[in-house]
Structure 1
Amino acid sequence: MKTLILASSSPRRKELLENLQLTFQTVSSDVDENYNSEWSPEEIVMELAYRKATAVWKGHPETIVIGSDTVVVRDQTILGKPENREDAFSMLKSLSGRTHSVYTGVAIVSETNKIKFFEKTDVEFWELSDDEINDYLDTGEPFDKAGAYGIQGFGSLLVKKISGDYFSVVGLPVARTIRELKKAGYSS
């Protein structure tokens, strides 16, 4: 059985795979995350996931590597990780009372496979007061997350409903990922 590597330092992605009782290693990838501004969100997340997985696989060619990337999109605008508190406040204010989309791309790379896919989930927020946004910012949770929130933590209080894969919003669509891993020849 080939060794499985998660090309990520994300504690959320690691936890999702640990919950499935998979045996894997984590290796952080340091890749250029710039992209062509003409690309669609789907293209962006799949390409960045592929870059991450490929960079790690090159150092471990006997393994199967999973790479992943997530973006939040509101009105065709990509919301990355906030630069500071003001940026996070602005992002959350722009999501208040509205629906946005979360795209997560996954790449699975091995000697014999190069698989790329994405999942899109629509997320609707409650109408948020400035006090609610500031209370959330005070938790410190939003600052390392695309769109300035994490659905699995205190950010769950902002979410009115979702349509799609919850785990994709967390950072890794686990059910689809496992199915694609099996296609790539991985067995746990």
Structure 2
Amino acid sequence: MVDVKYTPAPSEPSPSDPPPSYTTASAQPTPSTISASLPSRGPPIPRPPLPLELPALSMLRGKRVVLASASPRRKQLLAQIGLTQLETIPSPLPEDLPHTLAPFEYVLQTATRKAQAVYAQEINNEAKGEPALVLAADTVVVSASGMILEKPRSEREHVAMLRRGSGGWHKVFTAVAVMRPLESLREPGYAMETIVEETAVKFDQAAVTDDLITAYVKTREGADKAGGYGIQGIGSILIEKIDGSFDNVVGLPLRATLQLIEKVVTHDEEEEDEAAAGVYDDEEDD
């Protein structure tokens, strides 16, 4: 395992305001022409970058893209690649799969069920029309002993959860499921791609004392997060290093998710039909 020193990411500006065009920016008055008449207001607020010009993302603009999750972290991460007009529709299914499943299988099944439930609910939405894309995810933290840790249900459980992690390394598993309807009537009527990402996280054993854990729990930052901490917030003080994707620990491996979106959106139905026809012809010849 390669040790990667963790450095907290800087806070990102809101993606709601587009950056100015080059022509607009060049037409603005220079500081020398306005400094005499306007009071100093500090440095300018940084603008977000221009959106990624990728074919798959361009095909989704102006269409229904549904995030089957209430997680604000996942919504913020997807906004970074340009998916800012998301509908958030959490899955109605209970997350009650047995913890006897392997963590990889647990998150994969949970994310897949979430996506399928919201897809089935929205595919015949007469008011809004069918979604162009449904995306779901599930994240769990797994202790060094192999125990699956989800969101803490009480302050006492929260403290105990962080103490389990304070002994050293633990793992974060996130599964992502992406679906879109097919234009053909071929079963099952949709294209789906899934992935499971794994990241190892190490708490700082010397620094993470009982007093620090108690103080962190009192902030309530980790109360709604798998494993009981937020690596992108105050919870970064608990972390010594990570091995793997930082975004995965936040709740959505962004690079892998973009690859899934591209694969599903550019899914070639004609190639599948030709392949299926070839198999059918071979069976007839036999």
Q: Which category of TM-score, normalised to the shorter sequence, fits these structures?
A: over 0.9
Residues 194 and 260, structure 2, Cα contact 8 Å, conserved in 1: no
User: Which of the pair has more CA radius of gyration?
Assistant: 2
One-letter identity of the residue aligned with 2:93: V
Cα separation, 1, equivalents of 2:165 and 2:99 = 22
Name 2:77's counterpart in structure 1: 16
Per the alignment, residue 261 of structure 2 pairs with 181
Q: 2:99·2:106 contact (CA, 8 Å) conserved in 1?
A: no
- What residue in structure 2 maps to residue 103 of structure 1? 173
Deviation sequence 1:65-118 (CA, Å, 0-9, x none): 000000000111011111111111111111114100000001112223121210
1:65 to 134, 151, 159: 134
Partners of 1:185 and 1:109 in 2: how far apart?
A: 9
What residue identity is the alignment partner of 1:6? L
Check 1:37–1:135 CA distance in 2 against 1; reply closer, same or farther (3 A cut). Answer: closer
1:148 is aligned to 2:228? yes
Q: Which residue of 2 aligns with 1:56?
A: 118
Equivalent residue number for residue 122 of structure 1: 200
- Aligned match of 2:106: 44
Partners of 1:156 and 1:49 lie apart in 2 by: 26
TM value normalised by structure 1: 0.94
Work out the CA distance in 1 between the residues paired with 2:221 and 2:264: 35
1:131-171 Cα shifts (integer Å, max 9, x gaps): 11111112111111111111111101100000011101100
* Partners of 2:75 and 2:86 within 8 A in 1: no
Question: Greater strand percent: which structure?
Answer: 1
The one-letter code matched in structure 2 to 1:132 is L
Which structure is richer in relative contact order (CA contacts within 8 A, separation 6 or more)? 1
Inter-partner Cα distance in structure 1 for 2:122 and 2:156:
41
Name which of 48, 68, 78 aligns with 1:7.
68
CA RMSD of aligned residues (A): 1.3
TM-score normalised by the chain length of structure 2: 0.63
Given that 2:111 and 2:175 are in contact with CA atoms closer than 8 Å, whether structure 1 keeps it comes out as yes
CA distance in 1 between partners of 2:163 and 2:229 (Å): 12
Q: Which amino acid aligns with 1:28?
A: P
Displacement of 1:21 = 2.0
- Picking from 86, 91, 96, the partner of 1:29 is 91
Structure 1 residue aligned with 2:158: 88
Which of 119-128 and 25-34 deviates more? Answer: 25-34
Runs of 4+ in structure 1 off by over 6 angstroms are: none
* 8 Å Cα contact 2:161/2:228 also seen in 1: yes
Runs of 5+ consecutive residues of structure 2 not aligned to the other structure: 1-58, 124-129, 182-189, 267-286
* Equivalent residue letter for 1:40: A
